[in-house]
Amino acid sequence: MTNHEAKTQKFIIKFFPEIMVKGTKAKRQMINQLYTNLQKILFSISKDTTIVKFFDKIEVVCLREFVVETRQKLLETPGIELVLEAVQFDNISTIDEIKEKVNEIAAEQIVGKTFKVNAKRVGEQPFKSPDIERNVGGYMLAQNSEKTKGVDVRTPEVVVSLELIHKQLNVITLRHKGLGGFPIGTQGAILSLMSGGFDSTVASYLTMSRGIKTNFIFFNLGGVAHEIGVKQVAYYLWKKFGTSHRVTITTIPFEDVVTEIFNSTNESYMGVTLKRLMLMASERIADRMEIDALLTGESVSQVSSQTLRNLAIIDQACNKLVLRPLSTMSKPDIMEIASKIGTKHFAESMPEYCGVISKNPITHGSYKRMEEESKKFDYTVLDEAVKNAVTVNVDEIDLDVAQIGQLDVISDLSSGNYTVIDIRQSDDCIETSVETLKIPFYNLKKEFKKLPQDREYLFYCEKGILSQLHGQYLRDSENYTNIKVYRP
């Protein structure tokens, strides 16, 4: 029976090349970790999915009803270089059987195009891979002579790929570029300083895609909306790229720290001082979590505190390794990645709270002057802030936001004059018993003011996190009082 006939879809997973050049022990560990990660991720979609591990690949077979979701998760899982979709035929032992099956599946691919056949063979057969390629290519040319432009072994428009593993034939129908990197769980853990903007989210994505278990820390400079927004982005990144492992987000109240900076620090050193104190606090949290490194989204000379001299001064405040994967990237490059991974709209609509704005900020700080300024600061304020830090699991953020969110949550639509607004960025819209509008969250600020304000509006999203964020933001910035959250 074939996977085609059984109404299932087969995926062949090819590993990130850097995995395959590792030593035997390291390679085995990484493949085992990826296998374990895929079990956790894909079984959450369907328990009927089959995952089989080999020394050079992993094969996944799922029911066709779960193909789209399974494919998407495979493309977002670190450690995977290629995702091949294949049609499987069993008990194939002759070239005649191979060429007929391949032509059955791939004939449409070569219509109006040049092609060649690539074959990979494993097992003891009375023929070699070149024999398969010649016979299949010749047969497909003969069967489709009036439709195809012919064989071109040098620069074909279509490559017909197949694998014969003993008596199992896999005909490759689609090829997808994977995320690459190493499997999460093989490269240790890091603590990412998250503001929710372009830089910190892209930096976090880059460490996740490299296989680093990325936890988050947020310094609240004032505002529930900002905290909810950062937690929403952290949840989004984890949900998209990191669900194989549980991670946390820690929130540290930093309003009093900012006040102390204003009271004790020369204005030209305020920005650098704030960054130093964030690293110091992050180091303490990382020590508790037994994490060896910190992550920031800083890019050289993007702002005054990010010159090489100032970054060096900032790093003196802690003993942890600080990774800055964006250090040599331009802002357009960073924004392009944010757009690709889906965090652009979150960053653009994130409420901003500038806790420290220096007049005439120093761009080439003095080590001696920084030492003098640091002695003026009352570190008991920092101690208290760290003491009041709150850590939650990222997968439980929806419950956390429900507690800290200040907007009422409505489940029954029959008891009021409501209009539901679906603020998800997807095209689909929830169906309800009342008037329902579709306004993606990134258009809310512009579009909401156009609506009649004599009724109550209920914001809807999957978890209620975006709804709390943007409802709170509109309430704080525009003084709207007719916004609530809809959770059916």
So what's the pLDDT on residue 348?
Answer: 85
- Segment 55-82, tens digit of pLDDT: 999 999 999 999 999 999 999 999 999 9
Average pLDDT along the chain? 92
The pTM for the full model equals 0.85
Strand runs labelled E in 255-370? 293-295, 321-323
Residue 325 has pLDDT above 50, yes or no: yes
Q: Is 294 labelled as part of a ligand binding site?
A: no
Residue 228 has pLDDT above 50, yes or no: yes
Residue 196 has pLDDT above 50, yes or no: yes
Q: Indicate the fold that domain 409-486 takes in CATH.
A: Oxidized Rhodanese; domain 1 (3.40.250)
Q: Is 112 labelled as part of a ligand binding site?
A: no
Q: What is the mean pLDDT of residues 214-240?
A: 90
Query: Quick one: three-class SS letters along 36-95?
Result: HHHHHHHHCCCCCCEEEECCCEEEEEEEHHHHHHHHHHHHCCCCEEEEEEEEEECCCCCH
Q: Is 194 labelled as part of a ligand binding site?
A: yes
The Cβ of residue 477 has, within 10 Å, a number of other Cβ atoms equal to: 11
CATH class, range 189-396: alpha beta
Q: Is 240 labelled as part of a ligand binding site?
A: no
Q: Output the DSSP codes for 384-432.
A: HHHHT-EEEEGGGHHHHHHHH--S-EE--GGGS-EEEEE--SSS-----
- Residue 369 CA to residue 279 CA, distance in Å, equals 19
- Residue 331 CA to residue 302 CA, distance in Å, equals 8
CATH number of the 8-177 domain: 3.30.2130.30
Q: What is the mean pLDDT of residues 175-194?
A: 97
Residue 1 has pLDDT above 50, yes or no: no
Q: What is the mean pLDDT of residues 20-49?
A: 97
Q: Which distant-in-sequence residues (6+ apart) come within 8 Å of 56 by Cβ? A: 14, 15, 20
So what's the pLDDT on residue 160?
Answer: 97
* Active site residue ranges: 461
- Segment 338-357, tens digit of pLDDT: 999 999 988 887 765 555 55
Of 181-195, 356-370, 411-425, give the lowest mean pLDDT range: 356-370
- Segment 236-293, tens digit of pLDDT: 999 999 999 999 999 999 989 989 998 999 989 999 999 999 999 999 999 999 999 9
- Segment 85-119, tens digit of pLDDT: 999 999 999 999 999 999 999 999 999 999 999 99
Q: Is 446 labelled as part of a ligand binding site?
A: no
Residue 428 has pLDDT above 60, yes or no: yes
Domain boundaries, the chain: 8-177, 189-396, 409-486
Which amino acid appears at position 253 of this protein? P
Among the listed residues 297, 296, 295, 309, the one whose alpha carbon sits nearest the alpha carbon of residue 361: 309
Return the percentage of the chain with pLDDT > 70, whole number.
Answer: 97
Using pLDDT thresholds of 50, 70 and 90, give the confidence band for residue 231: very high
Q: What is the mean pLDDT of residues 25-32?
A: 97
Return the percentage of the chain with pLDDT > 90, whole number.
Answer: 76
1, exposed or middle or buried, with CB in 10 Å at 0-12, 13-18, 19+?
exposed
